[in-house]
Amino acid sequence: MTKSSLRSMAAGILLATFALAPILLFIEEDGEAVSQSPQSSESSELTDEEVDAFIEERGYTMIESEEYEELQRNLNRLEAHEDELMAFREEAEEAEESEPSEDSEEEESSEEDRIYQLYLVIGSGMSSGEIAILLEDAQIIEDGADFRQYIEDNDLVMAIKAGRYMLDSSMSVSEIAEEIT
């Protein structure tokens, strides 16, 4: 190769580079042109409505930091209560296993003769309605509405104390109310 042909080839490569460089710099991978104007940078910022639509579309929920922290504290408190209840349950099962077995006559007794026990943990802020549901689910009382009505009729709504209580189905509504207030 001569000097002049080498120079011509170098000039051709340089010219091709100058011709193709702008095309490669201003076209994105998906084939759309990239605009460097200040208007496009403003339009790329998301509005609150677009963010809300994106979150809703994905099925997410947005909450404030304070509310998230409060939910975390409540979760930790409930997990601690769950641990306490599990420990109490294990103790109750161990105590039940250590008791002698019932006579066959007692085993044949009806469902009504059974006495159910509940270790009730009342947290601060629990309503009488929530307590009534727990008592009814544990078969300590037959009707939660009666319990709520008794609490309201005797103005004991604000007298309910947070704490741990051992209750059983042989207790009357008034005895249960007296125990937890």
Output the pTM of the full model. Answer: 0.40
CB 38, CB 30: distance < 8 Å: no
CB 122, CB 165: distance < 8 Å: yes
Burial class of residue 172, CB neighbours in 10 A (0-12, 13-18, 19+): exposed
d(CA 142, CA 115): 12
pLDDT greater than 90 at residue 12 = yes
Range of the domain at 68: 47-97
Q: Say if residue 130 is in the same domain as residue 179.
A: yes
Which residues make beta-bridge pairs with 122? 163
Q: Say if residue 180 is in the same domain as residue 122.
A: yes
Q: Say if residue 121 is in the same domain as residue 167.
A: yes
Q: Say if residue 77 is in the same domain as residue 126.
A: no
Q: Say if residue 139 is in the same domain as residue 169.
A: yes
Kindly report, residue by residue over 18-67, the tens digit of the pLDDT: 888 888 887 766 566 555 555 444 556 888 888 888 888 988 888 889 99
Query: What is the predicted pLDDT for the residue at 45?
Result: 82
Query: What is the predicted pLDDT for the residue at 73?
Result: 93
Tokens matching residue 85: 């209840």
> What's the N-to-C CA distance of the chain in angstroms?
106
Q: Say if residue 176 is in the same domain as residue 122.
A: yes
Instruction: Report yes or no on 23 lying in a domain.
Output: no
Residue at 98: amino acid letter: S
Residue at 101: amino acid letter: S
53 against 107, higher pLDDT: 53
Kindly report, residue by residue over 56-92, the tens digit of the pLDDT: 898 888 888 999 999 999 999 999 999 888 888 888 8
Instruction: Report yes or no on 104 lying in a domain.
Output: no
Query: What is the predicted pLDDT for the residue at 154?
Result: 93
Kindly report, residue by residue over 156-166, the tens digit of the pLDDT: 888 899 899 99
Q: Say if residue 119 is in the same domain as residue 172.
A: yes
Look at the chain and report how many structural domains it folds into.
2
> Could you count the other beta carbons within 10 Å of the beta carbon of residue 114?
10
Q: Say if residue 125 is in the same domain as residue 179.
A: yes
Instruction: Report yes or no on 33 lying in a domain.
Output: no
Instruction: Report yes or no on 177 lying in a domain.
Output: yes
Cα 144–Cα 150–Cα 151 angle in degrees, nearest 5: 90
pLDDT greater than 70 at residue 110 = no
**CATH number (domain holding residue 170):** 3.30.1490.480
Average pLDDT, the chain: 83
Q: pLDDT exceeding 70 applies to what percent of the chain?
A: 82
Tokens matching residue 63: 């909450």
